[in-house]
Structures are given as C-alpha cells and as structure tokens.
Amino acid sequence: MIDAIDEGYDPELLNILCNEIPKLPGSFRIFLTSRPEDHIAIALPHAAHVHKRSIDVGGDTNKSDI
C-alpha cells in the first residue's frame, strides 16, 4: 500500500512502478492512492499492469461513509 503518492515521490519511483513492478511474481499486488495529479496520471495509466479507479469523494455514497 502506497498512500498519497502525490505528496512525496520522485521520477525514480514512478519508473519503478511503471517498469519494474511487472517483473515481480503475479501474486504481488500494489495499491496506491493519489489525488488526480497530471504528472502521475500521465506516467502510470499507460502501463498495462495499472488499473485506475476514480472515486467521487463528494458523492452521496462516500458522504454516507464519512
């Protein structure tokens, strides 16, 4: 779990997430959270192993959870 990657990362970490993670055994899963920052959105979604999910934090479902 990598929480709030937008609050502290460097290009090397994005490179690892894009290019090195696929070399791990298929049983590895990495979950990361981030605000929708352009530089992260550009770097990660093009990798085939990345599955992006967006959450509407202002939506009724989330408001009832809070």
- 13 in Cβ contact with 43 (< 8 Å): no
Has residue 28 been placed in a domain? yes
> Could you report the per-residue pLDDT of 22-52, keeping only the tens digit for each?
899 989 998 988 887 877 777 776 777 888 7
Task: Kindly list the distances between the CA atom of residue 60 and the CA atoms of 35, 36, 54, 66, in Å, as whole numbers in the listed order.
Answer: 19, 20, 15, 10
Has residue 23 been placed in a domain? yes
Split into its structural domains, the chain has a count of 1
> Could you report the per-residue pLDDT of 5-30, keeping only the tens digit for each?
888 888 898 888 888 988 999 899 98
Task: Kindly list the distances between the CA atom of residue 24 and the CA atoms of 15, 31, 54, 61, 62, in Å, as whole numbers in the listed order.
Answer: 14, 15, 25, 35, 33
Has residue 30 been placed in a domain? yes
Q: Could you list the residue range(s) of the whole structural domain that residue 33 is in? A: 5-50
What is the token pair recorded at 50?
A: 């990345």
Has residue 38 been placed in a domain? yes
Has residue 55 been placed in a domain? no
Has residue 19 been placed in a domain? yes
Has residue 24 been placed in a domain? yes
